[in-house]
Amino acid sequence: MIVGFIDDNRDEFEALPIVRALSATAARVAVSSYYANKKQQLSARARRDEALTEVIREVYEENYSCYGVHKMWKAINRDYADRLGHVARCTVERLMRRLDINGVRRKRKRPKTASACAEQCLEDLVERDFAAPASNRLWAADITYVPTRAGWV
pLDDT for 22 equals 82
Burial class of residue 15, CB neighbours in 10 A (0-12, 13-18, 19+): middle
Nearest to 96 by CA among 56, 64, 65, 63: 56
Mean pLDDT per 10-residue segment, the chain (153 residues): 80 83 81 83 92 96 93 95 93 96 84 77 77 83 82 83
Q: pTM score, two decimals? A: 0.54
- Domain limits, the chain: 2-39, 44-99
